[in-house]
Amino acid sequence: MTPKERIDWLRAELHRHNYNYYVMNAPEITDKEFDDLMRELQDLEKEHPEYADENSPTMRVGSDLNKNFTQVAHKYPMLSLGNTYSESEVTEFYERVRKALNEDFEICCELKYDGTSISLTYEDGKLVRAVTRGDGEKGDDVTDNVKTIRTIPLVLHGDYPSVFEIRGEILMPWKSFEDLNREREAREEPLFANPRNAASGTLKSQNSSVVAARKLDAYLYYLLGEELPADGHYECLQKAAQWGFKISEHMKKAHTLQEVFDYINYWDTERKNLPVATDGIVLKVNSLRQQKNLGYTAKSPRWAIAYKFQAERALTRLNKVTYQVGRTGAITPVANLEPVQLSGTVVRRASLHNADIIEGLDLHIGDMVYVEKGGEIIPKITGVDTDARGILIGEKVKFITRCPECGTPLVRYEGEAAHYCPNETACPPQIKGKIEHFISRRAMNIDGLGPETVDMFYRLGLIKDAADLYRLTVDDIKDLDRMGQKSAENIIEGIAASRDVPFERVLFALGIRFVGETVAKKIARSFKSIDEVEQADLETLISVDEIGEKIAQSIVSYFANPLNRNLVERLKEAGLRFSRSEEDLSGYTDKLAGQSIVISGVFEHHSRDEYKEMIERNGGKNVGSISAKTSFILAGANMGPAKLEKAQKLGIRIMSENEFLALLS
């Protein structure tokens, strides 16, 4: 046997044994025999570098060389799921799907693993790229780190498609988590709060040998591509299991709502016996065809939902209440607690939300309080054990009247629960919060900058607002604490690259109250430039789809402030994109200008979301319900009988899919 033949044989054998051990839990050889084969392969690869292969089993040991991550755009956006916490909301989801499809459907029930999301791309049966969720549009390329995870196959077997993507969750099992924290405690290093944070932090390590040592696991749960083996999501994953992927054995198809509830109720208790953390159940319409027809909202698919298990509760002592100032000036009271174990983490602080919550709880310092995790994420106080109060109980908690940071008297706007510091241009947490929002991934996405760096630049007087970032130079920051020439260059390059961020994200980055990503997109599509937005009156803004009086008033108030107008002018001078590009404008027409259109039914050529996009790009307005003001209904197959009857009663035109496409062409 030639060296090349021996190398190929060893690689194939090690891939097979790795799959048997880590995925199938059915080893055929001892650990020593496996290690001997691996050592032989390492020696042969060292002697014959001409036979190097990026997907060799030897890649799983990782490297101790540091490596910066590059960002990669997702071919298919990685959206989050809508969350629900009650059976009634599950019923509402099920009924929405039933009415929208108007045909039989199956629901695939899956455990919701509590880790960090990953997207894996395979070409010709080999892993070529692993990318984190990031902001949903793009993420970090962590391929070298992912190759060290034994349950992720580097090479597939069977009749897999030539190119596809598979997504899943990277986890740290409870045992690995506990072992890691014991090691960190012995070295007097900070402990990880929970397995999810540990997995996320490990995956972003710049040293892949560290990743290899921490024994991460992975479950894959979503297959994407042009040549999928079946129309059923469940069936696709069963095929993926045959190719070598670790797919949860606890997936189940439900044909009725009761079967969905049976699955939820079983795992609400049984999940505590699993070796990894779970925080709920994911429900997905099984048919990919039906998924496409149901489409997406701005943030999540309409064909899937996450049911979160009811929060666990613990009893602990309230030591004191402190107050935080957010970027909008909102004051959040924070309960400082005696540390207590809750849902796999140690809780020391919990949100009290606002003055009304504090008053309703009748809180006193020293009270024994009940703490829950809302959706098992954010701790909150839900009650007080008044029977535990003694003669030594402390004073009643009263909400503060002045900003804890700048001393400005607080205000409470009509109809709002929160108190605010109105000193938005001179209150340090608000200023820093606005800059942190500006540089965030979903906004300007400036690499190398984070809250700690923003805080340092602000304290040293280098920046007082977002526009000051564009005046920084490498020489200004290279000699600062923990900086250096290379880090400084990366930050300045990241700031320069942000000049290419499109208008809608720049608008979102300004941090105008109530103007989130979706609203910023609506505004950017309705106004050609920031000048038009600045000059728009209340009535003009309200005429934009999905913009109500509250949002419109916030925009008018923002531009009424001369300091905000000055900030925008300085950002313009810095070269940011405050208008739609010619490329953006070229894709818009006025063919549907002034028309309000309802979409109903199941479509053949495009999904509902694609039709909504077409309507907006051609000047039309999407509306959810039929009224006398409806221009026409774009109707697919299985249009709801109630909508059909109402349209006929009002004499509204019903347009077929083909007629609509012909109209636009």
Q: What are phi and psi of 122, to 5 degrees?
A: -120, 135
3-class secondary structure per residue, 298-311: CCCECCEEEEECCC
399 near 355, Cβ under 8 Å? Answer: yes
The tokens describing 500, both together, are: 């290419």
Q: What are the distances in angstroms from CA 98 to CA 224, 399, 609? A: 24, 47, 18
CA torsion through residues 594, 600, 605, 608, sign: positive
The tokens describing 353, both together, are: 């939300």
The tokens describing 466, both together, are: 């977002």
Q: What are phi and psi of 120, to 5 degrees?
A: -115, 130
- Kindly list the strands in the beta sheet with 632-635, ordered across the sheet, starting from the edge strand earlier in the chain: 621-622, 596-600, 632-635, 653-656
In this structure, what DSSP letter does residue 354 have? S
Q: What are phi and psi of 491, to 5 degrees?
A: -65, -45
Whole-angstrom distance, CA of residue 523 vs CA of residue 532: 10
Whole-angstrom distance, CA of residue 486 vs CA of residue 467: 23
Torsion of CA 223, 229, 235, 240, to 10 degrees: -50
Q: What are phi and psi of 368, to 5 degrees?
A: -85, 120
Whole-angstrom distance, CA of residue 459 vs CA of residue 468: 14
Whole-angstrom distance, CA of residue 445 vs CA of residue 462: 20
Q: What are phi and psi of 320, to 5 degrees?
A: -165, 170
In this structure, what DSSP letter does residue 230 have? -
CA 515 to chain centre: 19
Whole-angstrom distance, CA of residue 236 vs CA of residue 311: 33
What residue has token string 């009857």?
645
Instruction: Pick the closest to residue 552 from 519, 528, 579, 521 (CA basis).
Output: 519
Whole-angstrom distance, CA of residue 600 vs CA of residue 608: 8
The tokens describing 136, both together, are: 């949903």
Catalytic site positions: 112
What residue has token string 């997995």?
199
Strands 596-600 and 621-622: parallel
**Coil, helix or strand at residue 223:** strand
Whole-angstrom distance, CA of residue 318 vs CA of residue 337: 5
What residue has token string 């992975």?
218
Bridge partners of 171, per DSSP, are 217
What residue has token string 């003001």?
629
Whole-angstrom distance, CA of residue 512 vs CA of residue 509: 8
The tokens describing 20, both together, are: 């048997």
Bridge partners of 372, per DSSP, are 313, 380
In this structure, what DSSP letter does residue 345 have? E
DSSP line for 533-553: HHH--HHHHHTSTT--HHHHH
504 near 137, Cβ under 8 Å? Answer: no
